[in-house]
Homo-oligomer: A and B are copies of this chain.
Amino acid sequence: MPKSQKNALSAQDWAEAALDAIGRRGVEGVAVEPLARELGVTKGSFYWHFTNRDALLTAALARWEARETDEVLARVQQETDPRARIQRLVTEVNTSRRASRIYTALSSAGKPSFVREYVARVSRRRLQFLIDCYAALGLAPERARQWALQTYSVFLGSLQIRRDLPDEWPAAEDPAFADYVRFLMVSLLPPEAGADDHDSGDTVDTPADTARIVAQSRH
């Protein structure tokens, strides 16, 4: 049972290439023969690893789901303060352009219907994570849910704006970016931990954490 020839491709290599193609050309752009050309092989290789194109998409989606739930949330959960977690999640918008494009492509894909299930699961876990963060701040369940929906909307909308109007969005190295993140945090964090309403009081932001987390945003 030789496990690896010289430059043998694995199913994971194909799945990763498919994810790349999703990010660059959308789900419809995941075609077997062009993908094989990009990998320097022919279809003969593909149909040894997978039964058909849907199997490749399923593998790519499974890979994506695992990455976007366990890994990302685990990274954010390194923060202990719920406020820091929320802010970290917002700044994560600017971490990976590739991940953003993959998400928007998947979210708007219609053709293989099972794509929507993966997107729904990932979105649900992200939203639930935010709900838990706001609940940890002492908000009532419905209140936490409203805050989480608002924050997740800002998160997704930011992806969209960076895609549609890239020049209208402050670059990560621009000081206006840090300004904008601080501005957002005022709206996205309830004014007082344990309070149930948010239109009174101040002393909201923690500038030290803000600067630290913003500095972590790469690219």
Contacts and interface: CB of A to CB of B under 8 A. Distances in A.
Interface stretch (A4-12, A44-52, A183-191): A183-191
> How many A residues are at the interface, by size bracket?
35 or more
Contact of A204 (B188, B199, B204): B199
A191 B199 contact: yes
A108 B110 contact: no
B154 A150 contact: yes
B165 A186 contact: no
A179 B146 CA distance: 9
- The winner among A127, A146, A158, A160 for most chain B CB atoms within 10 A is A160
Contacts of A142: 176, 179
Main secondary structure of the interface of A (DSSP, over half): helix
Contact of A153 (B24, B157, B191): B157
A120 interface: yes
Interface of A: 24-26, 28-29, 104-105, 107-111, 116, 119-120, 123-124, 127, 142, 146, 149-150, 152-158, 160-161, 163-165, 168-169, 176, 179-180, 183-184, 186-188, 191, 198-200, 202, 204
